[in-house]
Amino acid sequence: MAIVLDGKKLSLESEKDFSKRVEKIKARNFSTPILATILVGSDPASATYVKMKGNACKRVGMDSLKIELDEATTTSELIKKIEELNANKDVHGILLQHPVPVHIDERSCFDAIDINKDVDGVTSLGFGRMSMQERAYGSCTPYGIMRLLKEYKIPLEGKSAVIVGRSPILGKPMAMMLLNENATVTICHSRTTNLPEIVSTADILVGAVGIPKFIKSDWIKDNAVVVDAGYHPEKCGDIDLEGIISRSYAYTPVPGGVGPMTINTLIMQTLESCEAQLGLD
């Protein structure tokens, strides 16, 4: 029987621990961890994600500071807002909901976030430090996946890991995190020519493409660890999971696998940032 990498279960268990730590901070330091969320424009999916993150804060006793900016906000106006939050001692983490409207220079805005408050792990500096195995908050989806793999004691060292997708928030940091755990990593993308063949070499496969059921089950070898980062309205991911579940060593269900770990990791890192500011880490 394949191991179910149950992100929902792990995130609920972790929340119990986070709640206790938040209580301790409130009792000892008269302080509350605060995550600032910035939503630019009115994209309904982004608004839903921001709401879910605010709800997750509430569940563990943390606060969120919601900042909603007009669609027409410029890059410099957004950077100014981020700098205000950087300077605000009450704010421990800053989340800029991705994607921002196309006229905004998203990379410059991400990189304006203070490294100590980059709890979503989106800055270039944070990526560099994480890659060099220095202390940094990890990009939440790949780091959530790493936490899940660790929880279920999935061996990584010496394994062939194939990641389909190379986005700055998912595929690239995922590759560095797996490399840092001594996996042998291959990154695939839209110009990769022999994708099925490369996927068939994976002991550990991460699907992060953004196309429903794009990775076919018959490309995947028996006993692979199958991680599906995708989530689509039709309640499926980027991998055609049905055909592989029974042949896999372990897999992430969709929903209930990677998704809950992303928000959980954001909450965890906001809490860690607050603890670091208070000298509790």
Query: What is the rounded CA–CA span in Å between residue 202 and residue 49?
Result: 31
Residue 240 interacting with ligand NAP (CB under 6 A): no
Strands in the chain per DSSP E = 3-4, 34-40, 63-69, 93-96, 160-164, 184-188, 204-207, 225-228, 250-251
Query: What is the rounded CA–CA span in Å between residue 195 and residue 203?
Result: 15
- Minimum distance of ligand NAP from residue 224's CB (angstroms): 18
| Residue type at 54 in one-letter notation | G
Residue 256 interacting with ligand NAP (CB under 6 A): no
Residue 126 interacting with ligand NAP (CB under 6 A): no
Active site residues: 53, 97, 120
Residue 231 interacting with ligand NAP (CB under 6 A): yes
Q: Among 11, 73, 123, 141, which residue sits at the site for ligand NAP (rule: CB under 6 A)?
A: 141
Binding mask 24-63 for ligand NAP (x = CB under 6 A): ----------------------------------------
H helix runs in 154-217, sequence order: 171-180, 195-199
Residue 259 interacting with ligand NAP (CB under 6 A): yes
Q: Spell out the long-range contacts of 101-108 with Cβ–Cβ below 8 A and sequence spacing 24 or more.
A: 101/40, 101/41, 101/71, 101/73, 103/74, 103/75, 104/40, 104/73, 104/74, 104/75, 104/78, 105/75, 107/168, 108/75, 108/79
CB closer to ligand NAP, 168 vs 243? 168
Binding mask 209-228 for ligand NAP (x = CB under 6 A): xxx-----------------
Q: Among 36, 148, 174, 188, which residue sits at the site for ligand NAP (rule: CB under 6 A)?
A: 188
CB closer to ligand NAP, 26 vs 216? 216
CB closer to ligand NAP, 91 vs 188? 188
- Minimum distance of ligand NAP from residue 272's CB (angstroms): 19
Number of amino acids touching ligand NAP (CB under 6 A): 25
- Report the interface residues with ligand NAP, using CB under 6 A: 141, 164-167, 169-171, 188-192, 195, 208-211, 229-231, 238, 258-259, 262
